[in-house]
Amino acid sequence: MIKVAIVDDHKLVREGIGLLINQLDEVEVVAEFSNAQYWLSSLNAHEYDVSLVDVDMPGMSGITAMKEAVSMQPGLKVIMLTMHNDVNYFRDAFINGARGFVLKDMSVSDLSQAIREVHNNNTYFSTEFLNTLATGLKDETSRLDSQSVKDIKLTTPELNLITNICKGYTNKELAESLFLSVKTIESQKTRLMRKIDAKNNAGIIVWAIKNQVVDI
């Protein structure tokens, strides 16, 4: 059973997400918090498999709380909930340890995939979120501190891998789409991340959009 905590200052949002989660197999809401401080104070006493944390809350923001939480528990798995498409939210969240980003009007299938992917140590972006974010990222290229694609020579397999990662494919789906083993995909991703100085799927996607390697 995947244990989920929901952190949002709006009761209706918490209840709505809780109702969606109750429709899922092997997933349950074990705690709800109306602010970030309550969530942080619970971390030493409780263990959550995945925490869904609102970006914009009064007092301590979700991103600030997530930074502190990850410093307390480096392996903590956090998905940020947002109504925003802002590049700064996206960048700050993933630089500081968020594993996923979903919009609050997500479908049940989006929510299910997000929780399961993050629980399995992957990252997750809803398709809708990537689509709405892509334009903003392209407009903010001068503000993203990453290596220029002009200095990097990508092979065709690397380009194919990046394209499918940007579509939100899991390692298993990457292997199936590229007719490779999961082990080979993991090795290729490790080499690719070293090459473009990325730490995870989020870093690959940000780098790819920034350098217009893919058009989402």
pLDDT higher than threshold 80 for residue 19: yes
Burial class of 3 by CB neighbour count within 10 A (0 to 12, 13 to 18, 19+): middle
Torsion of CA 149, 155, 160, 161, to 10 degrees: -80
Provide the pLDDT for residue 130: 67
- DSSP class of residue 125? E
User: How far apart are the C-alpha atoms of 1 and 90, rounded to whole Å?
Assistant: 29
Asked if 10 and 19 count as a contact pair (C-beta separation under 8 A), the reply is no
Are 34 and 8 within 8 A, CB to CB? yes
Mean pLDDT of 106-126: 87
Report how far Cα 38 is from the mean position of its chain's Cα atoms. Answer: 23
Spatial distance between the Cα atoms of 169 and 154, rounded to a whole number of angstroms: 20
The fold of 145-210 is: Arc Repressor Mutant, subunit A (1.10.10)
pLDDT tens, 35-46? 999 999 999 888
**Start and end residues for every CATH 3.40.50.2300 domain found in the chain:** 2-129
Q: Phi and psi (nearest 5°) for 193?
A: -65, -35
pLDDT reported for residue 85: 62
Domain with CATH 1.10.10.10 in the chain: 145-210
Encoded tokens for 115:
């929780």
Which phi and psi angles does 151 have, rounded to 5°? -90, 0
DSSP 104: T
Looking at residue 37, its pLDDT comes to 95
Identify the band that residue 207 occupies on the pLDDT scale cut at 50, 70 and 90. Answer: confident
Q: Is 54 helix (H, G, I), strand (E, B) or coil?
A: strand
What average pLDDT does range 57-67 have in this prediction? 91
CATH class of 2-129: alpha beta
